[in-house]
Structure 1
Amino acid sequence: MSVAEYFRTMDYGPAPEDDQPVRAWLAQHEAAFGHFIDGAWRESGDGARFEVRAPATGETLAAVAQGGAADVA
């Protein structure tokens, strides 16, 4: 059988990737993250955050600290 014939007869199943472990990890951290500065997690100086979204669905996955000049300093 040729490669082309294999492709024509292949059954497609679900992708082996599963997002459940990642979703569980996000839930464990309440889907909220700060900056890791000087060995500790910290909020941004002004409390600003932005949402991280799944590119395929637009679903909000987490909220993370939005850094500013004060956070860098």
Structure 2
Amino acid sequence: MSVAEYFSSMEYGPAPEDDQAARAWLAQHEASFGHFIGGAWHAPAAGEHFVSHAPATGGRLAAIAQG
């Protein structure tokens, strides 16, 4: 199949830069994460977290367990 054929057969969907699905997932987890070990979330032993920032805006994305 040629590149032109791929382009003509592509269906339009959400733009890859659309962050709504990612933000919904963060909200579902209250934007705070422990360590994911053995299929479950665990709090850090010292209770410390660091903040992850969105590179485009500098805004807060989530608090992540310091490991």
- TM-score, L = length of structure 2: 0.71
State the Cα RMSD in Å.
1.6
CA distance in 1, matches of 2:32, 2:41: 11
CA distance in 2, matches of 1:27, 1:56: 19
Unaligned runs of 5+ in 2: 1-14
After superposition, what is the alpha-carbon deviation per residue over 1:1-54, rounded to whole angstroms, capped at 9, x for unaligned? Answer: xxxxxxxxxxxxxxx221011101100010011001233211111100000100
Match of 1:6 in 2: none
Unaligned runs of 5+ in 1: 1-15, 68-73
Match of 2:31 in 1: 31
Which letter maps to 1:59? G
- The share of aligned pairs that are identical, in percent, is 65
